[in-house]
Amino acid sequence: MLSFLQPQADLTAKNTLALPARAEWLAPIDAIAQLAAIAHSPEWARQPRFVLGGGSNLVLSGELPGITLAIALKGRAKLAEDADAHYLAAAAGENWHDFVGWTLREGCPGLENLALIPGTVGAAPVQNIGAYGREAGEFIDHLDAFDMESGEMCRFDRANCAFGYRQSVFKREGCQNGRHVITRVVFRLPKRWQPCVAYSELAAELARRGKAEKRQTPLDVAAAVMALRRKKLPDPAILPNAGSFFQNPAVSAALAAALGSIHPTLPRYPQADGSVKLAAGWLIEQVGWKGRNLGRVGMYEQQALVLVNRGGATASDVRNLARAVREAVFARFGVHLELEPVQAGKA
């Protein structure tokens, strides 16, 4: 028996949708030696595993079998600089938004568009968090992970992380029984800073604040991003949610053009690979689900892409609403919506 394992631990307060769930065994991890102890134990190494960060992108149900690794590794440091960039590191259990604030205070901008995203530094690469025209993966130099199969540390450089839209090698591997547990992420923040404000809503917010182009500082951009997020995205501490509940779907250029000719206001974002990304929030609003509830869950009134727990919801309430929304969007537009959060546990 490993002394840090807690049996039958309640996870309701550890997921931002506040869904009732428990871990068969909870392992709060504040040292890499604990991961090694699990990997090297003949009894525990064979158990199913689940990696829990901030719990902000999860749909949990029932019991998570085996060991839930609650990553609480702490620490951040300015590692080095060269002619072109600063290199800053944070342990996987650091809060993402606190880390972004610290990089700005250290005079190392770059992550300001990603301010106020809930969750941990270690979860950021898993789904390659993104907002307002930036993705975390663009700034990741490399990361360290514990390999639960070999029982040793290993390193992934950016190319090996295989980042895509809300995708990485770690998400494909799965949080459930995945091999690698991210322990530390090292960011490369270029010294030559340029604001990234092409996202029209962000440009409009900066203009509204009197921050004209060429005079915008990283702190101006961060403040505008935070204001936008506070306006459109509910605070999970007040109204439990997991951020965007569906991914923005990428469709063929032909389907996007056909839909655009029928619905001229449909937001369309052409991608490098020739596909076109559509705004799932717009599709959901059009089919009448914005601000509408089904039982104890609903789609948020300010942002139709956000599923909220109105109080006492379970994973089955969430699944029922997700199904209803997906069916309505498919029936009207012929577009499939994929869930963004990770689903885990058995009812």
- Nearest approach in angstroms of CB 243 to ligand EPU is 3
**What does the H/E/C string look like for the chain?**
CCCCCEEEEECHHHCCCCCCEEEEEEEEECCHHHHHHHHCCCCCCCCCEEEECCCCCEEECEEEEEEEEEECCCCEEEEEECCCEEEEEEECCCEHHHHHHHHHHCCCCCCHHHCCCCCECCCCCCCCCEECCEEHHHHEEEEEEEECCCCEEEEEEHHHHCCECCECHHHHHCCECCCEEEEEEEEEEECCCCCCCCCHHHHHHHHHCCCCCCCCCHHHHHHHHHHHHHHHCCCCCCCCEEEECECCCEECHHHHHHHHHHCCCCCEEECCCCCEEECHHHHHHHCCCECCEECCEEECCCCCCEEEECCCCCHHHHHHHHHHHHHHHHHHHCCCCCECCEEECEC
According to the binding rule CB under 6 A, does residue 333 interact with ligand EPU?
no
- Nearest approach in angstroms of CB 265 to ligand EPU is 8
Instruction: Using the minimum distance from each CB to ligand EPU, give the nearer residue, 37 or 197.
Output: 197
- Nearest approach in angstroms of CB 304 to ligand EPU is 3
Site string for ligand EPU, 218-247 (x = CB under 6 A): --------------xx---------xx--x
Site string for ligand EPU, 6-35 (x = CB under 6 A): ------------------------------
Q: Which of residues 281-300 bind ligand EPU (CB under 6 A)?
A: 281-282, 285, 290
Q: Of the ranges 10-18, 89-97, 170-178, 302-310, which one interacts with ligand EPU (CB under 6 A)?
A: 302-310
- Nearest approach in angstroms of CB 151 to ligand EPU is 34
Q: Which residue among 49, 166, 188, 229 is the active-site one?
A: 166
Let me know if 56 is a catalytic residue.
no
Binding site for ligand EPU (CB under 6 A): 131-132, 201, 232-233, 243-244, 247-248, 267, 279, 281-282, 285, 290, 303-305, 340
